[in-house]
Structure formats: structure tokens, C-alpha cells
Amino acid sequence: MIFTSNTMKLNISDALAYLTFDALEDIPFIKHAFSTRLGGVSTGEFKSLNMSFSRGDSDENVTENYKRLCAAVGVRYETLTASAQDHKTFVRRVTENERGIGIYRPKDMESVDGLITNCPEVALVTYFADCTPLLFVDERNRAIGSAHAGWRGTVGRIGAQVVRKMGEEFGTRPDDLLVTVGPAIGKCCYEVDEPVAEQFYALGLESDSFVFPKGGGKYMIDLLETNRQILMSAGVPSENIVKSDVCTRCSADLIWSHRATGGRRGGMCAILSIM
């Protein structure tokens, strides 16, 4: 397998593979990772590192996959706290009291597409399989956030919602933040119909750089660039935003992609934790 990226690194630990952002590895008080498809115990269409409890895989397999990923990354399994995603824009603050929710404790809320915390050893877990991961780190206030931005969450400006919520809860200023965008399906592979494209045009941003008409009522969308502009509109400096150059569909042998598999798949997760 050949992996190339100018922003991310492929890490291998006992046959388990995960991705990290170079920019985030330079921050000493956090751990982060994006899972891949490689190094787990799941079988069939979930083979092998499936991180989703909701696709039909056994809970035992998914739990073992989490334990393996945590061991590789250096995050304690007991600290994991998961979102409850449904492509909306609610952002939840979590603490030590929420450890285990969505992983080894049942969900206690629905419709949570973003998580924030300033508590050490509360590991934020969000899920993806083409949608855009957004990771936020405030070094000044030692606070973090993680969000799931599918196309609905993107046009709902979930990135700006996280910036606002971290400001309210932790005193985070937009220029305090380092934000990573992706890995996600790239503009090379993300085709939508006109009603979806119209919602991207309606954002009032520089749509020529993220909506590309193909003709016949079809458009290519750059989710990563759209999220970058939304973050900038919320006050995050351009130089503080790092976009992945890894397309999930183009890298479907390494990363779960809903479009590449026709929906017969497992899922990847992002983990972000203050240590």
C-alpha cells in the first residue's frame, strides 16, 4: 500500500494503522488519531478495523477494535466518550461524568454531532466514512473539540458552532484555535444534485472555490474548502486551519468510504484527548 500526504502521517503499530496530522503532533498535551480499515478483528464487509457499533458488526468485535486502537495511540479505553451523530449541529460539552457514553455505556442523548471538553483524559470520539472531521485545539486554554461535518452539518456551519461554544464554555478566542479539516471525500469524488449545491451557494461564501458545475444538474463539492471558509468566517485565521489532502474515496483500500463501498461498510473514528 502506498500512502502519500503533505499534511498527514500513516502510523503502523502491530499491524494496526492510523493517521495523524503533523500539525497536531507538535502539540504536547494532546493525543489524536484517525482510524483506518486495517488492524482490527472484524470480518466480512466490516473487515477489519470497524469502529461503528451501528452498522451490524458485533459489539464484541468493535470493542476489541477500540481497545487495539487506544493501545496503539496511547489513549486509555476507559476515557472514550462518543458523539450521537445525525447530521445536525448540536455541540455538547462533556466531562469525566460522560466517560464511556456511546462506547461501553449507553447513549444518554441523541443528535450530538460535536463534542468539546477541557478535562484531561476525556477522549472525544466522532465517526466518519466520507464526511468531514473537524478537530479543534485551544492551546492557551487547554481545551479541545471534535465535530462531524457531513454536507448538512457543513451548510449548517457546525464548525462555527464549535468555535462559538468553545468561546462560551472555555473563553476560547477564534485566533486561539488550531483546526484540522479532514480526511474526507475530496472534490474529485463528491458529486451532488442541484438542490444540495444550492445550499452551498446560499452560504454566501466564495462558492466558486467549492462548488463546481458539471452540467446536467450535477455539481462537484469541496467539503474541506467549504469548512475552511466557514471557520474563517467565524474568526479562525487562515494560517491556523490545516486541510487534509487525503480523499477517503480515493483511499478506500485504507479508509472507510460510504460511496466507494455502496454503503456496505464499517466506519472510521477520530479520537482527540487532553492527556
pLDDT tens-place string over residues 128-149: 999 999 999 999 999 999 999 9
Number of domains the chain contains: 1
CATH number for 46: 3.60.140.10
Q: What is the DSSP letter of 59?
A: H
pLDDT tens string 2-27: 899 999 999 999 999 999 999 999 99
How far apart, in whole angstroms, are the C-alpha atoms of residue 140 and residue 150?
29
Q: Look at residue 2 in the predicted model and tell me its pLDDT.
A: 84
Please report which helix (H) or strand (E) contains residue 19, including its range: strand 16-21
Stretch 54-71: mean pLDDT: 98
Per-residue model confidence (pLDDT) at position 83: 98
> What is the residue range of 218's domain?
8-274
Predicted confidence at residue 60, as pLDDT, reads: 98
**Residue 2 falls within a domain, yes or no?**
no
- The answer to whether residue 82 is domain-embedded is yes
* Nearest by Cα to 248 from 232, 266, 227: 266
Neighbours of 109 (CB within 10 A): 12
Q: What is the pLDDT of residues 82-106, one digit of tens each?
A: 999 999 999 999 999 999 999 999 9
Q: What is the pTM of this model?
A: 0.98
153 within domain boundaries: yes
- pLDDT of residue 254 exceeding 90, the answer is yes
In a domain, residue 1? The reply is: no
Residue 3 falls within a domain, yes or no? no
